[in-house]
Each structure stands twice: as structure tokens, then as C-alpha cells.
């Protein structure tokens, strides 16, 4: 199969498997999504969803969060890991949103990336899931699967994002981002598979005998 044919098969199959793409992180607006995505770094979405009710009970908007004691924030978010860095980032980004953006999360990738604790991946998730703007955030699942499915050479996440964006139509980027994550979580763990087990790999590479090389992000 050519790369374009592989992409077309994957797009069709994932749409059949995951016709609906519920956003995994609980939130009620762009600000609460931004904070939840920030918390999800090196933490599961399930755990983030366990702690955000208490955090948003304390403060669910930049104005209220900006005046909180960082230690109080840290105690609440501690189960998510990296709590010193994440609590400082949440407080500081809330202050910046108040000072520079009138308390509104900017619908602008470059502006989002200037906020503490917000990298390209987090900004992409917020742009797509809060504002519906096409983006293709590449996390470890997507980076791994894109390589196992032969959609990229996987040198780094920047290249993977570029390759995926060129392979799929823009209007499919947001659903595919979630669909690939869902598939990765359900079927394709980082270890324990030689790339010859489940339906997508066996369809794409029926003659594959050994595991494909996968580069870490």
C-alpha cells in the first residue's frame, strides 16, 4: 500500500470504530480545558478528571485562580505529579490571562504558546477542542502509531505533525487526533506488540514479520 492508501484506510477504519469523539478531559470552557490539559502532562486523563472538580471549586476562572496561594493549588493537584511546576504555571498563566488578555483564553496558537506551562501540544489541544480550529497535537500515542502505521519516519514530533497534516484533509485533523489516541489506548501500548497483531497493522502490512522501528518523541 502507498502511504496515501494507508492513510485513507486508517481514516475510514477509525471513523467506523470511533464515530463520536468525546473530549476525555472534563471542562466547561476554554480556561478549564487549558488547565486540565496542562495537568495531563505525564498524568492520565482519568486522574486529571478526579482532581479538577476540587481545583475548579477553588477557582474556575483566571481572576479567581490568580489570587490563590500557589501552595493551596499544589496540594490539590499533587496526585497529578509535577505539582510544583504545574501549580506555579497555573497561577502564573492565570495572572497573565488577567493582565494581558482581560481574563480570556486567546484563540491564537502563538499567544497560547507564550503562557507558562503551555507548549505546542497543549496549545494545539486547546485550539482544536476549545475553539474547533484544526490542529494536530502529537502526543506519544500518535507519534508511536504514526510510525507503526508507516505515516511518518518519526524523527521527532514536529516531523510527525507535519507528515500527518499533509496526509489528511484539514477538516479531519481534530477528529483523527482523538481517534488515534483512543485506538492507541485501547489496542496499541508502547511495549508488547511486534506490529503484527491487530487489524490495522495486518491490513496495512500483511507481510510484516518483525516489529517496525519506533523512535521515541
Say whether 91 is catalytic: no
Q: Taking contact as CB under 6 A, which single stretch among the options 45-53, 62-70, 99-107, 189-197 is the one that binds ligand SF4?
A: 189-197
Q: Which of 166, 197, 213, 216 binds ligand SF4 (CB under 6 A)?
A: 197
> Are the C-beta atoms of 130 and 30 separated by less than 8 Å?
yes
Q: Taking contact as CB under 6 A, which single stretch among the options 54-62, 80-88, 130-138, 193-201 is the one that binds ligand SF4?
A: 193-201
Nearer to ligand SF4, 118 or 188 (CB): 188
Q: Active site residue: 91, 121, 163, 172, which one? A: 121
Q: Mask: binding to ligand SF4, 141-180, rule CB under 6 A, as x and -? A: -------x--------------------------------
Q: Active site residue: 91, 139, 163, 172, which one? A: 139
The per-residue DSSP string of the chain comes to --HHHHHHHHHHHHHHH-S----SS--SSHHHHHHHHHHTTTS-HHHHHHHHHHHHHH-SSHHHHHTS-HHHHHHHHGGGS-HHHHHHHHHHHHHHHHHHHTT---S-HHHHHTSTT--HHHHHHHHHHHH--------HHHHHHHHHTTS---S-HHHHHHHHHHHS-GGGHHHHHHHHHHHHHHH--SSS--S-SSHHHHHH-TT--SPPP----
Q: In sequence order, what are the residues at sequence separation of 6 or more whose Cβ sits closer than 8 angstroms to the Cβ of residue 61?
A: 31, 103
Q: Which of 198, 203, 213, 216 binds ligand SF4 (CB under 6 A)?
A: 198
Nearer to ligand SF4, 10 or 123 (CB): 10
187 binds ligand SF4 (CB under 6 A): yes
Say whether 139 is catalytic: yes
193 binds ligand SF4 (CB under 6 A): yes
User: Where in 75-104 is the site for ligand SF4 (CB under 6 A)?
Assistant: none
Contacts to ligand SF4 by CB under 6 A:
148, 187-188, 193, 195-198, 200-201
Which residues form the catalytic set? 121, 139
Amino acid at each position: 500500500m502507498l502511504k496515501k492508501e494507508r492513510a485513507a484506510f486508517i481514516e475510514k477504519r477509525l471513523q467506523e470504530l470511533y464515530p463520536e469523539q468525546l473530549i476525555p478531559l472534563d471542562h466547561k470552557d476554554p480556561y478549564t480545558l487549558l488547565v486540565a490539559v496542562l495537568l495531563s502532562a505525564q498524568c492520565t486523563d482519568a486522574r486529571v478528571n478526579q482532581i479538577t472538580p476540587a481545583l475548579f471549586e477553588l477557582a474556575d476562572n483566571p481572576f479567581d485562580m490568580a489570587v490563590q496561594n500557589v501552595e493551596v493549588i499544589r496540594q490539590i493537584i499533587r496526585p497529578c505529579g509535577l505539582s510544583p511546576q504545574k501549580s506555579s504555571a497555573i497561577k502564573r498563566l492565570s495572572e497573565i490571562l488577567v493582565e494581558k488578555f482581560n481574563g480570556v483564553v486567546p484563540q491564537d496558537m502563538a499567544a497560547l504558546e507564550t503562557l507558562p506551562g503551555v507548549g505546542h501540544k497543549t496549545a494545539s489541544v486547546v485550539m482544536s477542542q476549545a475553539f474547533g480550529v484544526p490542529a494536530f497535537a502529537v502526543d506519544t500515542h500518535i507519534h508511536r502509531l504514526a510510525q507503526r502505521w508507516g505515516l511518518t519516519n518519526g524523527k521527532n514530533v514536529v516531523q510527525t505533525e507535519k507528515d500527518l497534516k499533509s496526509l489528511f484533509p484539514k477538516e479531519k485533523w481534530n477528529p483523527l487526533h482523538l481517534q488515534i489516541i483512543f485506538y492507541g489506548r485501547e489496542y496499541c501500548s508502547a511495549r508488547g506488540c511486534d506490529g503484527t497483531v491487530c487489524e490495522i497493522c495486518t491490513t496495512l502490512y500483511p507481510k510484516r514479520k518483525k516489529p517496525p522501528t519506533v523512535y521515541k518523541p
